[in-house]
Structures are given as C-alpha cells and as structure tokens.
Amino acid sequence: ENGVFKMKTSNKASQKNTLNKEKSGFGSQSLEQRLKMIYKNHYNLERSLKNGIFTAELTLNLKDFSDKVRYSR
C-alpha cells in the first residue's frame, strides 16, 4: 500500500527461548544486520512475546528506499 510493504508472522514460542535475553540469537542478529545493510533506515522490525506467542512484524518503506537508490546513481 503506497510503497509500504508489511509482513507479520506469529508462532508458538519455544520454552527455551525468551526475548528477555540481553542478546538475541544469531539468526536475529544476522537478519538485523542484513536489513540495515540493504534498507538503511527505511525499515522497521518489531518483535514481541505475549502469552507464549512470538510475533514479528516487518515494515519496509519501499517508495523512500527506491527514490533514494534511484537518485544516488
């Protein structure tokens, strides 16, 4: 919608894994690094854990990102 891509996913959280850890797992760190490298500040990733359900929501502002890439060449 209007150059914004949104994706939300939820699943049952593992009893072994909590979001209260100071550092998240390797996969989460890798994802954050890749998003920063590719989209700079044109994305938002929110994660939450509520009632045993882990939810992640990714928002990409593709219009602003596309404009910046187009005019930076």
**What confidence tens digit (pLDDT) does each residue in 8-63 have?**
999 998 776 455 555 555 677 888 899 999 998 899 999 999 999 999 999 999 88
Q: What is the pLDDT of residue 25?
A: 59
Q: What is the pLDDT of residue 73?
A: 53
> Considering only CA atoms, which of 52, 53, 34, 55 is closest in space to residue 43?
34
